[in-house]
Amino acid sequence: MGLVHVRRWALAWGNTVAGVTTEAAAILPSRRWAALACVAVALLGAPPLWAASDTAARAAAAERALTEMRAAFQKGEASRLASLLPQVQGHPLEPLAAYWALRVRLDVASADDIRLFLTRWRGTYWEDRLRNDWLLLLGARRDWPTLLQEVAAFRMNDDAEVRCYTALARLETGLVAPGDIAAEVRDTWLAQRAAAPGCAAAAGRLIQAGALTPDVAWQRARLGVEAGRLAIATQAVGLLNPEWVPLVERAYQSPQRYLDDKVTALRHRTKEIVTLALIRLATQDPSAAAEEAAHLRWRAQLTAEERAWIWGAIGKRAALRLSDDAVRHFARADDALLPDDWRAWKVRAALRAGDWATVRRTIEHMGDKQRQDPTWTYWLARALHASGRPEDAAAAREAYARIAGSAGFYEKLAAEALGQPFTLPPAPPPPTPAERAAIRANAGLQRALLAIELGLRSEGVREWQYEIALHTPGGLSERELLAAAEWACERAVWDRCINTSSRTRDAIDMAQRFPTPLRELVVRRAREIGLDPAYVYGLIRQESRFVSDARSHVGASGLMQVMPATARWTARKIGLNGFEPSQITDPEVNVQIGTAYLKLALDDFEGSMAMAAAAYNAGPGRPRQWRQGPELEAAVWIENIPFDETRDYVKRVLSNTTVYAAILTGQPQRLSSRLGRIGPRLATARAPDTDLP
């Protein structure tokens, strides 16, 4: 560690004794502390060495306390947090520690205590984080005057529940009329994926006032039932009449039995709950739901809008099962009445069926926001081109041109459709010394990096994201983003480097967005086993953003996010003797095992990068099922992957691979050259490796 870094740390934090910072204490091995403290004394005219050593000890004690405080916070141990907090006083991460100590007792804290915290840590992420938490509590308590006072200082403004509580507070205090907030509350409530109380309360109040119709609550219930979230449905229907909730629960738990009950046709509110039952049945058995929905008694009783939702739900579930019946079911639903996600699945089913007319017609019925998504812009262009009419060909070129670029999967394919292979854009001018200095003086970014380096990654990532995107309206400027990304790269915090640089629209630095750490290891290992190094890099970037100690919620670890059982199986398969699970976070071991598994998957799927990537993410059994049916171009096959996560993953891995190929070879690249066609395994192909985990 050079003298410049010691001086920079000392000046940046302005700590006491010797000016040697707690950041340095966290990062540097303790055996080097004495020598570096002497350097700091010489540079800054600090007190004697014993004082610097004492500072190092206090810094180490503070960081141990932070680790203990995090564990105590996760357990809700208020007294333990209070006892540890004094040990963190003066440490750069004291705002985080103070947040933990107050947050765990927020429901019993006084307004004075909360405002004291907000004043003490004004301008930090942790101030705004606590204000967010307090606003939710104030909304639940219906303390509208305090909520309206505090929400004016809320900088993040990214919490849907806070927005709904704020709208309700303005209504209840007479600042707005019900009609002024109805559209915002409706759209926010329908988009929520959990049965949260704030938006439900606001929606219920607006239904009571007549500014929203009861149909909105039934739509919310339908979305909940289709998504398998009963709590959403019962909450929504309960706003209309709590006595209907048991009927909703019966229809959800046993939809066929509910529909077969002879009393159902006579019961009050039958048709709305019948709609819920048919949608629920569709999630369990689309064919049975289609047969039931075709019965005369339901066709006569249900409205056109209810029938559209039912057939849309049946079509979506058939499409998720890759059934040839999906397009036929969707044809019985009016596109204009379907939710956005269901329209998207209608397009996917039509793509799989090669029905370009339905693709075009359905996308044209999408709302402006959905239609402008690069996915649907690209497929609309393909549908226009497929018509064979000159005027449609011109419209297709215009659509391709709107999205063509280097940003993602469909942007690259659109550019290729216009004859533009991917080439690396010129790098923007590097940050100037003044731009670097300004970013590195940002206390929030300093705290974020320190938290990450101390193992408090989730807390550090949140504070970093806040500083670059939310602290000021619109976030950092492009030049500031490049300087911040450069700093993260220098510190090998690759995920922050990538995500920060990826926020720029005009100044595109591909070296930041697609870094190549461990280049010698990755390239050598890939070539040894016959893999494209760009493919390996593309997968690592998506799996872990090069965070070597990354661990997923399901237990996958390391750069290539290998599951423990998969690691043990692969180690045995390649003869890696003496492998221990603890080694999986070692970059060399992780890359060795991860690339070996990827190569085995690629060979098992006859060289299809798309199917191998899907197998890496979702296991090999699923892409084996998904390849059954008609032979499809790979882009259509990928778009029809039933899992949102896996579909997005495969697109990103292949898009990343195209960029990394350009970086590693210096030559123009085509994403389409990595796609090909996908269909059932040929009879002449070798049998699948059923041992592949």
How many Å apart are CA 541 and CA 655, to the nearest integer?
11
Q: Which residue do the tokens 């063509």 mark?
A: 404
C-alpha 616, offset from chain centre = 19
Which pLDDT value is given to residue 330? Answer: 97
Distance between CA atoms of residues 595 and 537, nearest Å: 10
Question: pLDDT digits over 404-417, tens only?
Answer: 999 999 999 999 99
Give me the pLDDT at residue 398, please.
Answer: 97
Q: For residue 51, what pLDDT is reported?
A: 58
CA distances 117 to 83, 85, 110, 124, 464, Å, are: 17, 13, 11, 11, 21
- β-strand partners of 678: 632
Q: What is the mean pLDDT of residues 523-542?
A: 97
Mean pLDDT of 428-454: 97
**Which DSSP string corresponds to 607-675?**
T-HHHHHHHHHH-THHHHHHT-SS-EEHHHHHHT-S-HHHHHHHHHHHHHHHHHHHHHH-S-B-GGGGT
Q: What is the pLDDT of residues 217-254, one digit of tens each?
A: 999 999 999 999 999 999 999 999 999 999 999 999 99
pLDDT of residue 252: 98
- The mean-pLDDT minimum among 28-42, 68-82, 416-430 falls in 28-42
Q: What letter does residue 686 receive in the DSSP assignment? A: P
| The predicted structure's pLDDT at residue 301 | 85
Mean per-residue pLDDT for 306-330? 97
38 pLDDT more than 70:
no
Is residue 550 pLDDT above 90, yes or no? no
Give the distance from CA 137 to its chain's centroid.
26
The single residue listed with the structure tokens 């109380």 is 197
Q: Specify whether the CB–CB gap between 489 and 512 falls below 8 A.
A: yes
Q: Which residues pair with 422 in a beta bridge?
A: 669
Check whether 349 has a pLDDT greater than 80.
Answer: yes
Question: Is residue 278 a contact partner of residue 289, using CB atoms and an 8 Å limit?
Answer: yes
Statement: residue 590 has pLDDT above 70: yes
Give the pLDDT confidence score for residue 685 in this predicted structure. 83
What pLDDT does residue 176 have?
98
pLDDT score recorded for residue 266: 52
Residue 136, pLDDT > 70, answer yes
Kindly report, residue by residue over 250-285, the tens digit of the pLDDT.
999 999 999 998 666 555 567 899 999 999 999 999
pLDDT of residue 52: 62
Beta carbons within 8 Å of 19's beta carbon, 6+ residues apart = 10, 11, 13, 40, 43, 44, 46
CB-based contact 23:8 (threshold 8 Å): no
448-493 pLDDT, tens digit each: 999 999 999 999 999 999 999 999 999 999 999 999 999 999 999 9
What mean pLDDT do residues 100-110 have?
98
Residue 19: the pLDDT is 35
The mean pLDDT value for 600-625 works out to 97
- What pLDDT was estimated at residue 574? 94
Cα 81 to Cα 452: distance, rounded to the nearest angstrom: 21
Helix locations, 505-620, DSSP H: 510-513, 519-528, 533-543, 564-573, 587-604, 609-618
> What percentage of the chain reaches a pLDDT higher than 90?
85
Reference 447, options 99, 134, 202; nearest CA is 99
Q: Collapsing DSSP states into helix, strand and coil, what is residue 100?
A: helix
pLDDT mean over 572-588: 92
Q: What is the pTM of this model?
A: 0.90
Q: Are 676 and 634 in contact (CB under 8 A)?
A: yes
Stretch 353-372: mean pLDDT, rounded? 96
Type of residue at 297: R
pLDDT band at residue 56 under the 50/70/90 scheme: confident
The answer, yes or no, to whether residue 67 has pLDDT greater than 70, is: yes
* Strand residues in 294-440 grouped as ranges (E): none
Active site residues: 543
CB 519 within 8 A of CB 493: no
Q: Are 379 and 347 in contact (CB under 8 A)?
A: yes
Residue (of 659, 411, 613) closest to 515 by Cα position: 659
402 neighbors 482 (Cβ within 8 angstroms): no
Q: What is the pLDDT of residue 31?
A: 33
- pLDDT, tens digit (0-9, with 9 covering 90-100), for 516-529: 999 999 999 999 99
CB 597 within 8 A of CB 562: yes
Mean pLDDT of 337-352: 96
Helix ranges (DSSP H) in 121-229: 125-141, 144-151, 160-172, 178-191, 197-209, 214-226
CA distances from 382 to 46, 375, 596, 670 (A): 69, 11, 37, 18
Residue 236 pLDDT:
98
Q: Please say if the pLDDT value at position 77 is more than 80.
A: yes
Q: What is the distance between the alpha carbons of residues 535 and 522, in angstroms, rounded to a whole number?
A: 10
- The HSE-up count of residue 275 (CA atoms within 13 Å, CB side) is 26
Which has more pLDDT, 301 or 441? 441
Check pLDDT > 80 for residue 40.
Answer: no
Q: Which of 53-67, 71-85, 217-231 has the lowest mean pLDDT?
A: 53-67
Q: Is the pLDDT of residue 9 over 70?
A: no
Q: Please tell me the predicted confidence (pLDDT) of residue 588.
A: 95
Partners of residue 677 on adjacent β-strands: 633
For residue 522, what pLDDT is reported?
97
Question: Average model confidence (pLDDT) for the chain?
Answer: 91
Compute the average pLDDT of residues 348-368.
Answer: 96
